[in-house]
Amino acid sequence: MTGMDEPLEREVAEPRAGAVANSERIAVAVGLKMLGAGAVLILLGLVLALSFLSPYFLSSRNLGNILAQTAVICVVAMGQHLVILTKGIDLSVGSNLALASVLGALSFHAGASTLTVIAVMVAAGAAVGAINGLFYVYGRLPHPFIITLATLSIAKGVALQLADGRAIPGMPPAIRSLGQEAFAGLPGSVFVVAGVAGLMFVVTQSTVWGRWMYAVGGRADAAVRMGIPVSAVLVSTYVISGTCAGVGAVLLAGRTDAGSPLFGNLLELDTIAAVIIGGASFLGGRGHIGHALIGAIMIGVIRNALNLLNVGVFYQLIVIGVVIVVAVEADVLRNHLESRMRVLRAETGP
């Protein structure tokens, strides 16, 4: 009898230990899935709560407002996303946008055509982005923080100097209507956002270049050894980020019918926050365009909600700051869960 009991017990005991590990594995997997979908869930919850709290929130006029106000953050955040994807940061986007808008306004007053004005703004943004990227990579700077902080200051200074410290009113009618009018019930800027998003999605998800961005963001030294042109990939992300700032300048100049050195104040914060809140990893290599868009819209919704609920403007900064901390902690938690998952898989087998 006793001789029979022992092996039986062991047979029962082993699957039980496996079951404990398995249930933890399932819990970790569910946690990871929730974190993956977290931003979308929070945004939906936010929208649901607000639709009860304020009768105006879901009105088409208010939703249109949110979209129009968020369009600039959306476009610039998508560029910022690519920089963050490759473990970088672009602090210069706000100043870059201001400089681009001033150059656009000046060229308009100098008699340039609509298309030229747009081209000037977009090219100015791209040029500042190129300076960022080239100095970071070929100037062998330790971190993009430094060069983009420098161009934040320089671009702002140049813009203030050129515009004599004031806004320069006047934009071509086409740019104005793009920023102010609705087409098919949607603000014109929404179409620009959709166009940029579509293009970026295809580039990052379907082209070799996009795959290289993810590889560089995942591990730059490995990318070098795999023969990926890391320097060119890095520079390109800053050029794209700058170009997005230029497109943002077109939208903002259209909406306000002016170019101004004061545009884009704290835009670097908004866009970085959007990318992180949306669920892309600050540690690089993770996330997609959708994350930047969801994060930007969430910032727009939070601002709008605080306005509708008559919460002071100063609180908005505080709330957004808190949301950033929560989002970054979620990123840290995700990394922790992933390493736990690796351990569990090694213990219990595939």
- CA-to-CA separations, 189 to 15, 178, 252, 278, 313, in angstroms, rounded: 59, 6, 9, 21, 24
Give the C-alpha separation, 286 to 283, whole Å: 8
**Contact between 238 and another protein (CB under 8 A)?**
no
* Strand residues in 95-194 grouped as ranges (E): 168-169, 182-183, 186-187
Give the C-alpha separation, 254 to 301, whole Å: 22
Quick check: 158 and 99 in contact, CB under 8 A? yes
Q: Identity (one letter) of the amino acid at 329?
A: E
Query: Whose Cβ is closer to another protein: residue 108's or residue 212's?
Result: 212
First and final CA of the chain: distance in angstroms?
36
Q: Which of 226, 309, 317, 322 binds another protein (CB under 8 A)?
A: 226
Query: Whose Cβ is closer to another protein: residue 30's or residue 318's?
Result: 30
Q: Which of 51, 59, 113, 207 binds another protein (CB under 8 A)?
A: 207
**Contact between 104 and another protein (CB under 8 A)?**
no
Query: Whose Cβ is closer to another protein: residue 183's or residue 209's?
Result: 209
Span of 102-110, 172-180, 256-264, 282-290 interacting with another protein by CB under 8 A: 282-290
Which two tokens mark 240?
A: 């794209």
Q: Which of 59, 60, 113, 206 binds another protein (CB under 8 A)?
A: 206
**Contact between 138 and another protein (CB under 8 A)?**
no
Query: What's the number of CA atoms in the CB half-sphere (13 Å) around residue 331?
Result: 21
Q: Which of 222, 266, 309, 322 binds another protein (CB under 8 A)?
A: 222
**Contact between 219 and another protein (CB under 8 A)?**
yes
**Contact between 225 and another protein (CB under 8 A)?**
yes
Quick check: 182 and 64 in contact, CB under 8 A? yes
Span of 51-59, 153-161, 165-173, 337-345 interacting with another protein by CB under 8 A: 337-345
Which two tokens mark 16?
A: 């039980």
Q: Which of 94, 125, 129, 217 binds another protein (CB under 8 A)?
A: 217
Which residues contact another protein (rule: CB under 8 A)? Answer: 206-209, 211-212, 214-215, 217-219, 221-229, 284-286, 338, 341-342, 345-346, 350
